[in-house]
Amino acid sequence: MLIFSGSSNKSLTQKIAKHLDIKVSPAEIFVFPDGEKRIRIQEKVLDKDCIIIQSASIPPDENYMELFIMIDALKRSGAKTIKTVIPYLGYQRQDHIFRDGEAVSLEVIAEILVKVGMTELFSFDLHSPKIPEVFSVPVKHLSALPLFAEKIKKDFNLDEIVLVSPDMGGIRRIKQVSEMLGNVPFATVEKNRDLANGAITDAGLTGDVRGKTAVIVDDMISTGITMVEAANLLIENGATKVFVFATHAVLAKYADKILQKSRIERVVVSDTIEVPLYSLFPKLEILSIAKIAADALK
């Protein structure tokens, strides 16, 4: 078994390789000034089982294109299998047509991955459980939630917390975590959006958070605005403290600054996306999914 790394999350690759007790195989990734990339696989792969790790985080197009041509290089060099770990699957939210004239971008990406030669996909906490259906190869849908449950058990008194989903779409996820923690109570933020401009018109809360420590659990933090709005709502409704757990630290735009300045005590994420040094902030804590990925790859 050989393991290769794209350029988006090399530290995760190192960690996964360590758990698998193998060395990361060398591949040269050169970027031309116009953004074109050139790949050279520097180890024989003929008849070998290969793994590539590449997160489709910011910048998503560049990371995907790099992955496509890396898979192409492995395939043309005779690799037997190409297991692809995309810990954060970019474009997953564009999984259906919301309005006329849109693309189903996830399907475009999925079809290219299979066409260039990916034989199996491993990904974490997909936005919708239906996403694996888009792929015509096996998909292992892994989760950082057990990692979060363990951490919550260790850091909090379970009698004092309430789990919170920041939107209705996260109910399935919050129920899972609640079960892992012996049916801890949970609440949900309900938002009504203006369909034309996406602005939140009003927000309410189902469930009781008064006098409790609110622990928000979600799949990703993008601009951080959802989290901050949810935290403010929870405190207005009597929550004493607010913590956030999210698998994917997309951290778009000023998310790091917004979250650091917010009333959120601590933001716990996983390393599905490598947070660049300039986006790290004191409230941020990162847990590693490397062992979960390695166990699935074994």
Partner 1 sequence: MATTQIDNSTFPNFVLLTGSANEPLAIKIAKLLKSPLNNPVSVFADGEIRIKIAPNLRRRHVFIIQPTCAPVNDHIVELLLMIDAAKRASSSEVIVVMPYFGYSRQDRKEMPRVPISSAVIASMIAHAGADRILTLDIHSEQEEGFIQQPWDNVYASYALTPAIKKKKLENLIVVSPDKGGVPRATFYQRLLGVGEMAIVYKERDLSANNQSEAMAMVGDVKNKNVLLIDDMIDAGGTIVHAANYLKEKGAKRIFAAATHGLFSGDALEKISKSALEKVIVTDSVLHRKEVVRNPKIEIVSVAPLLAEAIKRIETGDSISSLILR
Q: Which residues are catalytic?
A: 191
Surface-to-core class of residue 63, CB atoms within 10 Å of its CB (0-12 exposed, 13-18 middle, 19+ buried): buried
Q: How many residues are listed for the chain in this entry?
A: 298
The type of residue at 275 is V
In the DSSP assignment, the letter for residue 65 is: H
Q: Which is nearer to partner 1, 43 or 133 (CB)?
A: 43
Q: Which is nearer to partner 1, 76 or 291 (CB)?
A: 76
Q: At a CB cut-off of 8 Å and minimum separation 6, what does 29 contact?
A: 6, 7, 37, 38, 39, 66, 70
Q: Which is nearer to partner 1, 41 or 293 (CB)?
A: 41
Q: Which residues bind partner 1 (CB under 8 A)?
A: 30, 32-45, 57-62, 64-66, 68-70, 72-73, 76-77, 90-91, 93-94, 97, 99-105, 107-108, 111-112, 115-116, 222-223, 250, 252-253
Report, in Å, the least distance between residue 190 CB and partner 1. Answer: 23
Report, in Å, the least distance between residue 278 CB and partner 1. Answer: 16
CA–CA separation, 293 and 298 (whole Å)? 9
Q: Which is nearer to partner 1, 47 or 100 (CB)?
A: 100
CA–CA separation, 27 and 69 (whole Å)? 12
Report, in Å, the least distance between residue 53 CB and partner 1. Answer: 17
Report, in Å, the least distance between residue 89 CB and partner 1. Answer: 11
CA–CA separation, 16 and 199 (whole Å)? 40
